[in-house]
Amino acid sequence: MKCILLCAGYATRLFPLTENFPKALLEVGGRPLIDYILDEVNSLEEVDQIYLVTNKKYTPHFEEWAKNKNNVKPITVFNDNTTTNENRLGAIGDIEFVIEKAKIDDDLLIIAGDNLFTFKLRDFVDFQKTKGTSAICVREEDNETLKRLGVVETDSDMKVVGFEEKPAEPKGKFAAYAEYLYPREIVPVFKKYIEEGNNSDAPGNFVAYLYKHASVYAFPFKGDCYDVGTHESLAYVNKLYSNK
């Protein structure tokens, strides 16, 4: 299994903190945010390589971090060569960029580099193995929260039967979070998705496309998942993790 960490966004809502410094390396509770994600990825014996994709501006920061980290699993930093929020590839574009550059032909774990979560990736991987197909992380949320996220509809077996990004009227009760598992045979579908001219931004758009062509299951995780995208959310998790 290969792991892709998505760190190529420009985090404009966190300016000036992130104007010249990546969000994933901002300190939370005295550690870079991404180190918490790395702890979980390192716990998976299946993962033998970690790929971190970022933009041209942040590449030197991540290269320095990876070098000093001396991680138990090898980390390769990829520069997608974008320079602004306007010319970014988008999350799905970055995934396909790494697949091509690294010649990935393996199962794939994809995680957003700004997600702090308290559930165990081991449980997610075990769930995906029982299903033998693609899997996404979801949690039951209230209606107002659902309107701001990707909303997943499932059947009684947690198979995805509907997906919509930020709906005005949510049809499901589960929100999708940015942790995904795709088996080897799904990896080439990213190229097909891009070539068909589909939206290459939010990774949930790929799920909305995929469930219509292949089985996707939703893993209802137990715990918290914080999308650190604003000054308020950063302050909140900093306080939370400092207390820990």
From 183, 184, 188, 166, select the one nearest 175 (Cα to Cα): 166
Res 243: pLDDT: 83
What CATH homologous superfamily does 2-137+177-243 map to?
A: Spore Coat Polysaccharide Biosynthesis Protein SpsA; Chain A (3.90.550.10)
Domain extents in the chain: 2-137+177-243
How far is it, in rounded angstroms, from Cα 138 to Cα 175?
5
Ranking 20-34, 66-80, 107-121, 230-244 by mean pLDDT, the lowest is: 230-244
Res 68: pLDDT: 95
Res 48: pLDDT: 98
Q: What is the pTM of this model?
A: 0.96
How far is it, in rounded angstroms, from Cα 140 to Cα 220?
8
Phi, psi of 170, rounded to the nearest 5 degrees: -60, 135
| Mean pLDDT, residues 233-241 | 94
- Kindly give, in sequence order, each residue whose CB lies less than 8 Å from that of residue 242, ignoring residues fewer than 6 positions away: 29, 30
For residue 2, give the amino acid letter: K
| Mean pLDDT, residues 16-36 | 96
| Mean pLDDT, residues 10-18 | 94
* Model confidence at 110: pLDDT above 90: yes
How far is it, in rounded angstroms, from Cα 11 to Cα 15?
7
Tell me the pLDDT tens digit for each residue of 30-84. 999 999 999 999 999 999 999 999 999 999 999 999 999 989 999 999 999 999 9
Res 244: pLDDT: 72
Q: How far apart are the first and last CA of the chain?
A: 31
